[in-house]
Amino acid sequence: MKKSSLLWLIAPALMFACTPRQTSADAAQSEGEYELAGPASDGLQRMHEYNYADTVVVDGREYIYRLHREASDSLPAVVDDDGIRYADNIYTLTIMAGGQQFFHRSFTKAAFAAHLSNDFRQHGILDGMMFDPSLPGLAFAVSVSMPQSDMVEPLLLRVDRQGGIAIERDERSDADLEDGDDEGV
C-alpha cells in the first residue's frame, strides 16, 4: 500500500518534469487569446506574444527548434465583417542541430499567399505554427485563420537538411489528423 501511495505522489511530478515548459501566458497565447492595445488604445486587436522551444529527433538526428510569434503593427491590419481590426502576426522559426543554428527565418502571411484563397489572403491572419511529429522530416503545421473563428486554411512548412523550405496546403482530413494524433499534439 505504501508503494502505491508513493507512486501517486511521484507520477504527477514526473509528468510535470517531462512536459515542455509553458508559462500561463504561453497557455493563453497558444489558445489564441487577443488583447486590446495599451492605455492609448488604437482599437487594434493583437494576439499575445508567444515563445516555445522543444527538442525533437528526426531521422536519428537531434534538433532544437524555437518558435516566436509577435503581433506586427508594420503589416496591414485585417478587418472582419464587424469592422474589428486585427494585427497580423510574424512567426520566427529557428532550428539548431549539433549545437549550430542551421535555420532561422521569419514568416508572415505573405510567405504562404500562393497557397491561400483570396478571402484568407485579405481577411485571415497567420495565427499558428507547430512541429508536426506525424509527418516525416522537419514538418510544421501552419494555420491562417479568420480572427476569432474556427475558419482555417491549414498549410505545411517543411524544412530540409540544407535549410531549404517547401510550403504546401495540408490536404489531410480531420480523420487523418486524429489517426496520427497518438502523440497528444
21-36: per-residue pLDDT in tens? 444 344 444 445 555 4
Q: Which residues contact 136 (CB under 8 A, 6 or more apart)?
A: 58, 59
- 3-class secondary structure, 7: helix
**Which residue intervals of the chain are DSSP H helices?**
2-18, 24-30, 118-123, 174-179
Looking at residue 34, what is its pLDDT? 56
153, 143 in Cβ contact below 8 A?
yes
Looking at residue 164, what is its pLDDT? 96
The predicted-structure confidence for 107-165, as pLDDT tens digits, reads as follows 999 999 999 999 999 999 999 999 999 999 999 999 999 999 999 999 999 999 899 99
Looking at residue 42, what is its pLDDT? 79
Higher pLDDT, 36 or 79: 79
Residues in the chain: 185
pTM (2 d.p.): 0.75
45, 56 in Cβ contact below 8 A?
no
Q: How confident is the model at residue 64 (pLDDT cuts 50, 70, 90)?
A: very high
52, 91 in Cβ contact below 8 A?
no
In the predicted model, is pLDDT for residue 106 greater than 80? yes
Looking at residue 147, what is its pLDDT? 94
